[in-house]
Chains A and B, each alone.
Chain A
């Protein structure tokens, strides 16, 4: 899932600026699961902003609403009236949600309430770790299901490097060495010969190096059917 964390209340107050009528919009998907921008957080954020701005001597009209997914027009259409009434929309969605609101409501000023951080999993309650870099050319089949792009600090395709010490990364001893994890897993699965295969330089054009990415599925497009 997409992992995000809340910005500080001070930063939110700065982002809201002089606006009087503020709509906090939560998202019911990834950021709900990582406790950053769901219905509960939207309610807490709007109440906190009401109290904080009142203490500052400029109490604002802050309300909140949460949609199932901020990244789809259909869900944003459901709150169109509320969005149009607001001076500013404070999105507690990920960066995609913020941009979806900006794109769908061109006359609305929208600001982010979260810092979208990475694609990952909760490894224990209250702890989230990065697992995928969305590089667009998955190599997990070569590495025993452990991603060296996301989990090796150097994103090495042929690891480990000389900085692997006792199974940990030289960047930070609390970070497990991805290539140690890969070695251990391949060893356990009796597939250690896979690590001997030298991987050629990766084609990064499927990742961010190729510019903004887009997928078109003509089998799903309604417009393609009409054509």
Chain B
């Protein structure tokens, strides 16, 4: 995850677009909170610059 975060930063997409969290099958509330927090974060960061309406990018 650290490696890909470094790549994303170098590419210009930003390392904050990727996180990893550890939750067990018994931690539903924690999982939901992590998902909610990250969803808010990526909305704040904005859309992936490759996903433009006029152009589909195949990487």
Footprint of B on A, CB under 8 Å? 8-10, 44, 47-48, 50-52, 54-56
Listed stretches B7-15, B18-26, B32-40; interface member: B7-15
Give 26 pairs: A residue, B residue, CB < 8 Å, sorted on A.
Answer: A8-B10, A9-B7, A9-B10, A9-B11, A10-B10, A44-B7, A47-B59, A48-B7, A48-B10, A48-B11, A50-B59, A51-B11, A51-B12, A51-B13, A51-B50, A51-B59, A52-B10, A52-B11, A52-B12, A54-B50, A54-B57, A55-B11, A55-B12, A55-B13, A55-B49, A56-B12
Q: Which chain A residues lie closer than 8 Å to B11 at the CB level?
A: 9, 48, 51-52, 55
Q: Which chain A residues lie closer than 8 Å to B59 at the CB level?
A: 47, 50-51
Q: Which chain A residues lie closer than 8 Å to B12 at the CB level?
A: 51-52, 55-56
Residue of A nearest to B3 (CB): A44
Q: What are the interface flags for B39-59 relative to A under an 8 Å C-beta threshold, 1 for contact and 0 otherwise?
A: 000000000011000000101
Helix, strand, loop or mixed for chain A's interface? helix
A48 to B49, CA, bound (A): 14
Helix, strand, loop or mixed for chain B's interface? loop
Count, chain B residues at interface, CB 8 A: 9
* 20 other A-B residue contacts (CB within 8 Å) besides A10-B10, A51-B12, A52-B10: A8-B10, A9-B7, A9-B10, A9-B11, A44-B7, A47-B59, A48-B7, A48-B10, A48-B11, A50-B59, A51-B11, A51-B13, A51-B50, A51-B59, A54-B50, A55-B11, A55-B12, A55-B13, A55-B49, A56-B12
Q: Which chain B residues lie closer than 8 Å to A10 at the CB level?
A: 10
Residue of B nearest to A10 (CB): B10
A48 to B7, CA, bound (A): 7
B14 to chain A, nearest CB (A): 11
Q: Which chain B residues lie closer than 8 Å to A55 at the CB level?
A: 11-13, 49
Most-contacted residue by chain B among A8, A50, A51, A56 (CB, 10 A)? A51
Residue of A nearest to B58 (CB): A50
A9 to B57, CA, bound (A): 20
Residue of B nearest to A46 (CB): B59
